[in-house]
Chains A and B, each alone.
Chain A
């Protein structure tokens, strides 16, 4: 098993974070930090506030209390958006009549942020090459000029993932990126994400579906309106919270972890 490169730079610091809507607490007491190269898996039951938490960290929603720091900079003052990529939940892009090709949607981020920041992994390639590569990696090259409304749910998710990939960003936030995608393709997705992680990108992932995911070197954030666990995956394997959430699939994940540890 390959040694993961992590550095000691704190890419994300969250302290005493809470968010309410219509006087209802959506989440509170969130407190954790991540180093560069970490792979965080955010889990929790439906309605636990995971998506809201991710949106708050990204600055889409404004927290009720608490501090969020990205690369040491407070979220309100943060400006280096080329260092962040976001793959939102599938529900958001549902307008089948929106006039845009897959290519236009996937290149959106690249066109907005231009060549700012580190052109990590660029190797002097042109925009078109980078886009073409990402499409190829995700097996959607033939869909480049199709209207996004004509794509199936899984195809669209691949386009959105391609959009985040083209970026070569330092942190990638993903909210259920494989919900409409079939198991074999899911594996491909996570291989790609693992690959990015191994090259140094920090991954923050919300994912209900546990198939194809081992705890490995992941960190776990387990929330249910409040923070119930944050730490190494291996620790989580021994905890009570784990069986409560995973039920009988617990041993699958933890065994996977143990197997890899024995390589």
Chain B
């Protein structure tokens, strides 16, 4: 598989042949998948930076379990499982927030509880509907290459709205992510923004699940963010690098999965992982260089406590 790709690369004689690698872009469904993937991936990545920093990294994972339950309910009731999944996931996301605030348990525990219940609900309902069917499986694993027109525009719009919101309220969101209490003294309504994060994350999870599947949507929330945090020095850049990482991983993922005949979702996540490793190595190399530099510098200049 990989060998044939290597072979075809090595056999390139003309530019035309090189460009033929990108022939897959002429297919409408591939282009739609590419657009949706890049838009949704970017929204996930940017949101993911905030979630990871606020110690909510696993909320995507937890909500995918809940969404699975919601999809099962939807399929049982007939019609589009999207809406039932959406409502149930949003309610659960707010529930996790409330559990954390009122009952004072930690975020990871709240997520664990709600996600286990959500998943169990899905399994029970699926067995009541006489076993897992193909539809349910496609929500589990995603099918980025078979996206319908409605879902295409819906996911594009939602992603744009999320990113625009984050840009509009950038300074307030930065302030409350850095230190919630001081943000309150700046007049920021932290409680209201927490609701926003809960609802938007749920929205993105349900939209994302159609792309890379429930099992992998949490990866798009966590991995680009963590990759970005390895190399980003400023908050502004941490968002930009995360978005870029997600977009690149989606493009490369669709590219490789097309040529190597691999499941797209899994490929995208593995590429994310490779990018993370790359970022980690870059950070280590830079750290080593800095240590060299400061060792030389401190011999010359008195350090400033």
Mark each residue of chain A from 55 to 84: 1 if its CB lies under 8 Å from any CB of chain B, else 0.
100111000000000000000000101101
Q: How many residues of B are in contact with the other chain, CB < 8 A?
A: 27
CB interface residues, B 95-112, toward A, < 8 Å: none
Chain A at the B interface: mostly helix, strand, loop or mixed?
mixed
B181→A108 contact, CB < 8 A: no
A93→B178 contact, CB < 8 A: yes
B234→A111 contact, CB < 8 A: no
B174 at the A interface (CB under 8 A): yes
Measured between C-beta atoms, what is the minimum distance from A145 to chain B in Å? Answer: 8
B193 at the A interface (CB under 8 A): no
| 13 cross-chain CB contacts under 8 A | A55-B181, A60-B185, A81-B186, A86-B182, A88-B179, A97-B229, A99-B49, A99-B228, A99-B232, A104-B236, A112-B183, A112-B186, A145-B233
Given known pairs A93-B178, A108-B175, the reply for A99 and B305 (CB within 8 Å) is no
List B contacts of A113 (CB < 8 A): 186-187
Complex Cα spacing A173 to B188, Å:
17
Complex Cα spacing A82 to B186, Å:
7
A240 at the B interface (CB under 8 A): no
Given known pairs A112-B172, A152-B305, the reply for A59 and B234 (CB within 8 Å) is no
Measured between C-beta atoms, what is the minimum distance from B294 to chain A in Å? Answer: 11
A130 at the B interface (CB under 8 A): no
Measured between C-beta atoms, what is the minimum distance from A90 to chain B in Å? Answer: 12
CB interface residues, A 147-180, toward B, < 8 Å: 147, 152, 154-155, 173
Beyond A108-B175, A112-B175, 5 extra complex contacts between A and B, CB < 8 Å: A99-B49, A104-B236, A109-B175, A147-B234, A155-B304
Contact residue among A93, A100, A145, A152 (Cβ-Cβ distance under 8 Å from B235): A100
A88→B181 contact, CB < 8 A: yes
Given known pairs A99-B233, A100-B234, the reply for A59 and B172 (CB within 8 Å) is no
Mark each residue of chain B from 272 to 305: 1 if its CB lies under 8 Å from any CB of chain A, else 0.
0000000000000000000000000000000011
Instruction: Please give me the residue from chain B that is nearest to A107 by CB atom.
Output: B171
B196 at the A interface (CB under 8 A): no
A105 at the B interface (CB under 8 A): yes
Given known pairs A86-B185, A101-B234, the reply for A93 and B179 (CB within 8 Å) is yes
Complex Cα spacing A191 to B236, Å:
34
Mark each residue of chain A from 107 to 149: 1 if its CB lies under 8 Å from any CB of chain B, else 0.
0110111000000000000000000000000000000010100
A190 at the B interface (CB under 8 A): no
A100→B178 contact, CB < 8 A: yes
Complex Cα spacing A104 to B185, Å:
18
A92→B305 contact, CB < 8 A: no
Q: Which 4 A-B pairs give the minimum distances between C-beta atoms? A: A81-B187, A99-B238, A111-B171, A86-B185
Chain B at the A interface: mostly helix, strand, loop or mixed?
helix
Mark each residue of chain B from 129 to 148: 1 if its CB lies under 8 Å from any CB of chain A, else 0.
00000000000000000000
Contact residue among B181, B187, B234, B304 (Cβ-Cβ distance under 8 Å from A104): B234
Complex Cα spacing A20 to B269, Å:
48
Given known pairs A99-B233, A100-B234, A101-B234, the reply for A154 and B175 (CB within 8 Å) is no
A81→B185 contact, CB < 8 A: yes
Query: A100, A104, A152: which has the most chain B beta carbons within 10 Å?
Result: A100
Contact residue among A60, A82, A99, A145 (Cβ-Cβ distance under 8 Å from B184): A60
Complex Cα spacing A226 to B155, Å:
56
List B contacts of A182 (CB < 8 A): 305
Task: Please tell me the size bucket of the interface on A.
Answer: 20 to 34
A58→B185 contact, CB < 8 A: yes
Complex Cα spacing A152 to B303, Å:
12
Mark each residue of chain B from 218 to 234: 1 if its CB lies under 8 Å from any CB of chain A, else 0.
00000000001100111
List A contacts of B236 (CB < 8 A): 104
Instruction: Please give me the residue from chain A that is nearest to B233 by CB atom.
Output: A147
Complex Cα spacing A86 to B188, Å:
14
B184→A104 contact, CB < 8 A: no
Contact residue among B53, B171, B233 (Cβ-Cβ distance under 8 Å from A108): B171
Mark each residue of chain B from 164 to 198: 1 if its CB lies under 8 Å from any CB of chain A, else 0.
00000001101100110111111110000000000
Measured between C-beta atoms, what is the minimum distance from B162 to chain A in Å? Answer: 20
List B contacts of A245 (CB < 8 A): none
Complex Cα spacing A7 to B49, Å:
47
Mark each residue of chain A from 28 to 60: 1 if its CB lies under 8 Å from any CB of chain B, else 0.
000000000000000000000000000100111
B237 at the A interface (CB under 8 A): yes
A98 at the B interface (CB under 8 A): yes
Measured between C-beta atoms, what is the minimum distance from A55 to chain B in Å? Answer: 7
Complex Cα spacing A55 to B232, Å:
32
List A contacts of B234 (CB < 8 A): 99-101, 104, 145, 147
A108→B174 contact, CB < 8 A: yes
Measured between C-beta atoms, what is the minimum distance from B100 to chain A in Å? Answer: 17
Complex Cα spacing A84 to B187, Å:
10
Complex Cα spacing A182 to B304, Å:
11
List A contacts of B179 (CB < 8 A): 88, 92-93
Measured between C-beta atoms, what is the minimum distance from A204 to chain B in Å? Answer: 12
List A contacts of B304 (CB < 8 A): 155
Measured between C-beta atoms, what is the minimum distance from B286 to chain A in Å? Answer: 12
A59→B184 contact, CB < 8 A: yes
Complex Cα spacing A112 to B173, Å:
9
Measured between C-beta atoms, what is the minimum distance from B69 to chain A in Å? Answer: 34
